[in-house]
Every structure is written in C-alpha cells, then in structure tokens.
Chains A and B, each alone.
Chain A
Amino acid sequence: MILILLGATITGSVADKETGEAIAGCSVYLEGTEFGTSAASNGYYNLDRIPRGSYTLVFSIISYKEIKRRVALENEASVLYENARLERVPIQMPAVEVSSRRIEFEQEVTASAFRIDKEALKHTPVMIERDLFRTLMTLPGVTFVSDFTSALYVRGGSPDQNLVLLDNMVLYNPFHFGGFLSTFMIDAVDNVEFLTGGFPVRYGNRLSAVLDVESVDPEPLGGYLSTSLLATEGAVWGRLGDFGGMLTVRRTYFDKVIPIFMDFEFPYYFYDIHGVLSWRVTSKTRLEATFFNTKDKLDLAEESIPIGVGWSNQLVTLRLIQELGDPWVLKSWVGWSRYTADFSFSDLMDAENGIDDFSARTMFIRTAEVSTVELGAEASYLKFIYKVDAEPFASYDIDGRPEYGAAFFSWKYKPGPLFLLQAGTRAGIYHAFYPDTLRDSISGEVRGIDSLDNLYIEPQVRVSAKYFLTADDALNLSVGNFYQNLAMVLPEGGRIPTNFWIPVFGKYGPQQVIHLIAGYEHLFADGSRIRIEPYYKHYLHLLAFNEMFDISDADEDLFSSGAGRAYGADFSIEKASGRLTGWISYSLAFSRFISDTLEFYTNFDRRHNLNVLGTYDLGKNWRVNAHFTFASGMPYAGTLGRYRIYYWDPVRQEWRYYWITIEADRNSLRFPAYHRLDVGASKAWEFRWGTLTVRADIVNVYNHKNVMLYYYDMSNEPPVQRSVTMIPFFPSIGIEVRF
C-alpha cells in the first residue's frame, strides 16, 4: 500500500504565451501512460505517484499549439516543476473540446450542466442563423411553446424561472419575438454555461435553470459580415497593447421578407448591439466592460390592426478580475440592466412594464487540487413599474422599489479519484417595498400600504456529489432549495409573447422549489458522452398567471398561488468527433400546477421531446446538417361545447338567443404532436484576406403544419375548428465574409 502511494511528482502551471492568462482545462499527461490531468482554473496542475523513468510530458488543448517535453524522474521522491506557455493557433475545431470535457467530467459535479464553448456553437447545426437559444432548445430537459418565441422552458419551469446572465448581470428578456434568433450573437459570446437544475449557490433568485454567458475577450484585428434572408450581422474587433475592443451589430428585415413567402404583412423588426472593452491593467489585474442593447418592435397600426408590441434590453457592466496571490482570485462586478416592454391595443389599452436593476457582486475564489472555496455576496436595487391603462375597466400603476441581497459560501472537495463533493449555502434577503403605489381604480385611494412592505429571509442549502464508478463512468446526485422573487405574466404559458415581469409583492410571496436530481454519465475517449438524469422538482410555492383574471382587480387577481410538481428523465447521446458530429436528446417530462382550487398541467407540459441533430463534414469545406424535432402536444384550454343564452329582447319584444362556448378545464386538451425537419448545407472558400462562406437552409422540409392555436368559426353550423399554424416550409440562403 505504501509503495502505491510513493511516486514522483510533476507540477506547474499552463498559460497563454501572448497574454499570460491561465489556460484552464489544458490536458497535461505523460505520453503512452495513464498519468494525466487537466489544469485548474488558475492554470495549475499536479501529476503525482509517478514511477521513476523518462517520459514525454504533453501540454495539449484545442486552439493552442501542443507542447511536448522530455522529462526524467530520477526517483520516487522527485518533484519536477514544469511551466508551459502555449501559443494560440488558428486550427479547425472539432465540435467539442475533448480536454475540456475530461476536466469537466473529473472535476465538476456535472449533473444538469452543459458547457458550450464558442467553437462548439459555431459548429452546431444551424438553420438560417446561428443562434445560442435554438442550440439550447435541443438539449435534454429543454422545450419550447412555439416557433415564434425562443423562450426556454426547462424541466417543467417557465422562462421566467431561468436566470440569464451576461457577464454576470441579469438580462431580463433575451428572447426575440420571431423564434429564429435570441438576443445573443454567437461571435460576441465566449463560453456558455447552461445549468438545467441543481445549480451552485453563486447563482440565486431563480427556480429552474441558469444560462451564464460570457462576452468574448477581443482578439487581434478582425471582423465579419454575415447576411441572410432575415438579418444582417457584422462585427469588428481588435487589440492594441493591453487594450481590446469588440462591437457586434445585427438587424432583421422580417418586415420585407415574410410577405414574399406568406400572404400577410409583418411589420416587425429587431436589432442587437453588443460591445466589449478590456484592459489588462497589470499581469494580475484585468478590467472589462460590456455594453448590450436590444430592441423588438411590432406595429400593426398600418395594417389596420391596432396592436403595438415592443420590448428592449439595455445592459452595462464593469468587471474587475484581480489575482490576489496564489491560489486566491477576486472577481467583482457592478452593473445596470434595464428591461422595458409595452403593449397597446387601439385607444382601449396601454400596458407598460419596466425594470431597472442596479447590482453589485463580489466573489473570492480559492482554487486548489483537493479543495476549492468560493465566498461572495451580491446586492441589487430594482426600480420596477407595471402600469395598465384600460379605462373605464381598469387603470393601475404598480410601482415598486424592491431590494435583494445575498451572501454565499461554496466548498468543492475532491479527496481522491473516486469521490467529489460540492456543498454550499446561500442566505438571501428580499425587501418587497411598494410605496404608495396600489390605488383604487375609481377613488384613487392607496390600498393596503402596510401589506406592501414585506421582508423575506431566504436560507438555501445545495449539495451535489459525484461518485466515479470507473475512469469514464460516474453517478451524480444533487439536492438543493431555491427562491425566486419575481414572476412573469405569461398568457397562454408564453405562446402570446407579452412578457411582463412583476417582482413579488403584497400577498404574492417568493416562489420556492426543491430540486432532486440523480444521474449517470459515461464519457468516451473522444469526448462523446451519454447521460441519463431522472429529476424531481417540488415547488413549495409557485405563481401562475391567472388566465381568467379580473382586470379591474389586478393586484389581487393577477396570479394564482399554489404549488407544483415537475418530474421526468433526460437522456442524451452525443458524438463529438469524426466527420459526423451531433447528438440525440430525449426528455420525458411532467409538469403540474396545484392549488386549493385548481390543478392543471402547465401550458408547456410536453410529455416527450426528441431532438436529433447531426453535422456531416464532406471535406473540402463542405458541411451538411440536419435537425429533427419531435415534441408531443402541449395542453390548452379549448372549446368543448356550446349552449344558448336565451333572453327577452325589450326592443323587438321577442325571445332571442346567442351562443356561448363551453371551455374545457384549464389545459385539459392537447394540441397534436409537433415535428419538423430542418436541413442545411454550407461551403467555405478560403482566401488570403479571409473566408467566404455560403450556406443554404430549409426549415420544415416536409411542410408539417404544426398547430399553435385553435379557434372555432361560429358562423358555420356546426362551428368549424380552424387552426393557426407555425413556420411552414421556409428556404433561406446566407453569406458570411470573415476577415
């Protein structure tokens, strides 16, 4: 036993040759042996228990030129220090970074975690435009409600239960109406971490999932211009000494293109602007700033339909990353995030929603081989407004100043090769302060002001563990509780995209959930992976939009308070290397809302979700890809029957009647199953000045009419059911110039 423990050690750090930054995840191994590891987030690595002898030490990671060194270990007590500085090289990327998968597998509790790097996003099968959210929609546990919104529904949770962070600031509505595109532009994004459950304590104030997006670190001078039938996107970036910058811009022209393929005008557009600045103040200090601005606008007034819908995001954040001395790192952020939405219907109704979020966060990280500690705190001050003017039926103005603060402590412990533990606690405090805001719609008097100043203490504990059955097989277990102090008004579960945020107030307390996740995963040598994850989410308190709410009593009637259950199992197989790459994901899911007075399947309760994606590299810069989706039908409250309302007509002095429909219990009917096949092909030409890529895509190849909603034409006898369907057969072509 003692002999086994004895052995030589090789240790050191791995860094970028140009910038000096640590290269986390770099594979470090002795060629031809089983000895290997991956560099930690601060770049340090450690290989031990090595028998004496001569070896070839290899430093290898995608995007960098591999380094091989001959090393000699003279005896079992030898300690060899080997630092490596790797040179970045432009190379053809496989869809997945094998080494980063290995480090993720060995050093993280990977239950419900998906890490997608920029290169992987670029090589994911795309339809019309590369898009982060449409890639995320294909992951296990994620579903959608229509082609016309890219909102993510994760494991029985609505989109408002997802924490979406851009450079650590909350982005309140990163979805564009239109479905094809989210607010993120791929080339402005670096790493993406998507956690579908059981997320660590550094994340809070959401119930279901976390999407943590980091802006790209600007590279030396470059840029691109990409255009398709729907949008044009361009970017420039550059680096001068210790300063770097990047600006990415996109604008759509749905309003011009859709009428060509469909028989209606669609006066809708959106634009996105994403900018990044970075400054390496010293070798240990880095400052980064992000600017983000998006806007959606749909105005049907010129089409004689008096409806206007719009929303926008603005975000500014400033980040400080300070190495305090090995192994401590300080990360701090301050930022402002604004979300506004408006909806108008003729002169009858105007609704306005807005959040100004001023936040500050700081975190100390201590990274070591066996034990990693994170200690941090955050504070947010929100200015919030929800205003509806629908005289004479309703006029209310909910105007709040809620505050949120939290402190957290997390400890990751890996005592040996078999077991990994990650435990953490988070103490949150939420002050729901709504001064003089709720007024009687008739008298104008303030109502119940005392009840609108509530304080909530939110203790949270989250524990995850991983047990390695073999070097490539592991079991995951994760349990934890979560709070959320906001809710979203989601008519029809989000099929009608008027997304209004409302921080909890008055009688609506914070939402709460407990996650229990178990999982098995197998990692193949090439980075391919199989995962099976059953999960159970027990919602202790949940707010569901009241579809039948009384508009004259919105503050008391807007939400139904209750509990909920979401459970199911996610299954995925991923092929990460070779000419054919892609994945198959399948989710079995159940999601129910339960209160004292009603119980129903949520609008997004899809029982089965299947995604099959594949990209095939034909060589000579030709790629073809395909994506098939099958999702069982969503619930809806449809029309079952009708009856006559008889009445005596005092004008005509006769008996008359009109028909009233009988609606089914909430969400007791289901739409037909959704399925769609998309295909695409691309060809790239490389020139001395850059690359030209041309691609062609077809959405919904066999033109399946996926139903979005039903209605009855009551002018017929019997009434005729008619449907509104989603995206039909839709070809497109795009060109990208990259220099």
Chain B
Amino acid sequence: MKRFLLAGLILFVFVSCTQEEDYEFEPEPNILGLMRIGDTVSSQLIIVDQSYDITDTVNEYGVNGATVRIIGEQDTFNFPDTFWDPWTESWVHSIDGWYWGWIDFSDSTSYSLEVVLPWDDTVTADAMMPTPIRISSPADSDTVSISAQPHDPHVVTWNFCKNTELYLVYCIPDVDTSELGNISPIFSMPSFTMDTSYTFFLERMIAPWIYDKYYVLRVIAVSPEYVDYMGAEVPGGSVSNLSSGYGMFGGIAEDAVRVFIVP
C-alpha cells in the first residue's frame, strides 16, 4: 500500500508543478492618418488612439500629448492638438487624440508619418497620396434618366489618379445630414472599380430612387493602404502599414457633382 501512496504523492507533486500561462493585455497604438485630397478639404486630421482591455470602460476618444508630424522630401508638417478658432480668435483644444494640420500634397513624393506617443514609443509609416480626382461625366446639375434604355448606360467617368488601388462610386440623396438615417441603406453601398469609368446607373436601376430630386454623385480614389486597412471584416482582417500597432497612413481623393434623377 505504501508504494501506491508514494506513487500518488509523486503524481500530486507533478500536478502541483503544472501551471497555466497567464495572459495580460498590453495596449498598442491605434493611429489613423487618412489624408483627404479634394477641393472641399481645408485641413487634414490624424487620429491618435490606442487599443483597450476588453474589460475597460472607454469614454475618451484618443491619446493626448502625442507629437505628430508628416515629413515630406523638403518640409516637415506639424499636427498640433489645438486649432485656431476664428470665431473666438483663440487656440482651442481639439477632441482628445485629434491632431490637425495642412499639407499641399505632391503626387510624386513619399510622405512619412511620425507619431511620438506620450510613453515615448514612436510609430512611423510611409505612403504616397492619390492625385486629385475630377468627375468628367455627368457634369454638375446634369439630369440623369434612370429608366433609359440599356444602350444608354449612363457611364460615370473620371480622370486617372496615381497611387490609387480602386475607385468607389456613390450616389446619395442630396438631403440634410439629419435625414440620411431615413434613406435606404442601398444608397450607402458603393460600387467598386479599378477603371476610370463605370456603368453605375445601369447597375442601380432597381434602387429605390425617389425621382425628380437632386442626388450627390461622389467618386473616391482610394490608396492601397486604406483598402488594406478597411478589410477588417474579411479573412486576414485589417492590415496596418504602421511600424507598430493598428491603424493606417494613406489617402483618398474625392470629387462630387449634383445630378437630377428622373424616371
């Protein structure tokens, strides 16, 4: 009997020595530097945030106190977390983690994002920005007939943009932002193409158009970095081009015209 007790004791000691690994969550930077190229864009935004433990309550939007800049071939552009408010004629602190600046991008320059976080980690990324986009057809205020025969596919065309992986085409009712929640979700779904033209209205013939109204036709040129980043819900997930953490540094170019939709 003693030997069995001994064997049991050995087994118990063996058991006691086994230990499962503990897992501790470590936050990582989460930075979005999506540069917007277009006539309506007056300033660029870089959002500096982090990842959070799933059990943490997150009320704030991002990380304050970071040093954010974009470095071109000859110039460095700083992005402070304050901006000049012409109404109050004072410097105003932005939303937590939002950093503002202005750059006139060149299509042949590789830009470097550099973010020094308050805890001294530095995150970098390189990207080239899409060149500006111009919708050539239809023209602003043109009338588009949805029920036209298929031989007239209402092709939307635009110019070729450098540093672009694909183009998105939207046509959204020209309503106040507060009314957008009432429109059909189908209008929020873009069409994708890698060409500089698309038979958009032929594809959307069955959409729930409300006729005799103005719509905003918008085409967006998307850089490869943003395409990879937005793949969060497909196999492989969101791909970051930052040196560490989550996020992206890239750009989009936008143009829009108003079209009048008739049956």
Contacts and interface: CB of A to CB of B under 8 A. Distances in A.
Nearest to B230: A647
B134 interface: no
A654 B59 CA distance: 20
A90 interface: no
Interface stretch (A31-39, A486-494, A655-663): A655-663
Nearest to B190: A650
A640 B54 contact: yes
A660 B238 contact: yes
A641 B180 contact: no
A182 to B, nearest CB: 30
A608 B15 contact: yes
B77 interface: no
A661 B25 CA distance: 12
A532 to B, nearest CB: 6
A668 B22 CA distance: 9
Contact of A645 (B15, B55, B238): B238
B23 A643 contact: no
Contacts of A652: 177, 180
Contacts of A522: 4
B252 A648 contact: yes
B34 A642 contact: no
A512 B165 CA distance: 45
B54 A668 contact: no
B18 A588 contact: yes
B172 to A, nearest CB: 5
A641 B51 contact: yes
Contacts of A641: 25, 27, 51-54
Interface stretch (A417-425, A617-625, A683-691, A711-719): A711-719
A571 interface: yes
Given A642-B52, A647-B230, A668 B187 contact: no
A646 B172 contact: no
A571 B30 contact: no
A-side interface size class? 35 or more
Contact of B23 (A646, A664, A717): A664
Interface stretch (B42-50, B105-113, B137-145, B203-211): B42-50
B51 A642 contact: yes
A569 interface: yes
Given A588-B15, A644-B49, A651 B58 contact: no
Q: Is the interface of A mostly helix, strand, loop or mixed?
A: strand
B53 to A, nearest CB: 5
B127 interface: no
Contact of A651 (B50, B187, B235, B237): B187
A361 to B, nearest CB: 40
A650 B54 contact: no
A477 to B, nearest CB: 17
Given A640-B54, A642-B54, A651 B11 contact: no
Contacts of A648: 34, 36, 252
Contacts of A664: 23
Nearest to B187: A651
A520 B70 CA distance: 71
Contacts of A505: none
A668 B11 contact: no
Nearest to A551: B235
Contacts of A639: 54
B54 A712 contact: yes
A247 B58 CA distance: 64
Contact of B30 (A549, A643, A655): A643
B20 A647 contact: no
Contacts of B34: 646-648
Given A647-B230, A648-B252, A719 B18 contact: no
A548 B50 CA distance: 25
B128 interface: no
A607 B20 contact: yes
Given A646-B49, A668-B23, A661 B254 contact: no
Interface in B124-142: none
Contact of B18 (A607, A640, A644): A607
B4, B187, B218 — most chain A CB neighbours (10 Å): B4
A530 interface: yes
A641 B220 CA distance: 32
A647 B188 CA distance: 14
B149 interface: no
A651 B187 CA distance: 9
A608 B235 CA distance: 35
B56 to A, nearest CB: 6
B170 interface: yes
A550 interface: yes
A655 B25 contact: no
A269 interface: no
B51 A643 contact: yes
A660 B232 contact: yes
Contact of A532 (B7, B180, B237): B7
A670 interface: yes
A368 interface: no
Interface string B54-65: 111111000000
A532, A571, A645, A668 — most chain B CB neighbours (10 Å): A645
A476 to B, nearest CB: 15
A548 B49 contact: no
A668 B56 CA distance: 20
Interface in A523-547: 530, 532
B172 A651 contact: yes
A669 interface: yes
Contacts of A640: 23, 25, 53-54
Nearest to A662: B51
B75 interface: no
A712 B51 CA distance: 16
Contact of B246 (A643, A651, A670): A643
Contacts of B190: 650
Contact of A643 (B8, B15, B52, B57): B52
A271 interface: no
A679 to B, nearest CB: 26
Nearest to B36: A648
B45 A655 contact: yes
B168 interface: yes
A710 to B, nearest CB: 11
A161 B52 CA distance: 40
B14 interface: yes
A576 to B, nearest CB: 17
B20, B28, B47 — most chain A CB neighbours (10 Å): B20
Given A530-B4, A569-B11, A646-B47, A651 B168 contact: no
A559 interface: no
A650 B32 contact: no
A548 B36 CA distance: 34
A586 interface: yes
Contact of B14 (A588, A647, A662, A669): A588
Contacts of A642: 51-52, 54, 58
Nearest to A530: B4
Contacts of B236: 550
Interface string A572-595: 000000000000001010000000
Interface string A165-206: 000000000000000000000000000000000000000000
A550 B235 contact: yes
Contacts of A646: 32, 34, 47, 49, 247
Interface of B: 4, 7-8, 11, 14-15, 18, 20-21, 23, 25, 27-28, 30, 32, 34, 36, 45, 47, 49-59, 168, 170, 172, 177, 180, 187-188, 190, 218, 220, 229-230, 232, 235-238, 246-247, 252, 254
21 contacts: A522-B4, A571-B7, A571-B8, A588-B14, A607-B18, A607-B20, A643-B30, A643-B51, A643-B246, A645-B229, A645-B232, A646-B34, A646-B49, A647-B32, A647-B230, A648-B34, A651-B172, A651-B188, A662-B25, A670-B20, A718-B54
Given A669-B23, A718-B58, 6 more contacts: A548-B235, A550-B236, A641-B51, A643-B51, A647-B32, A662-B54
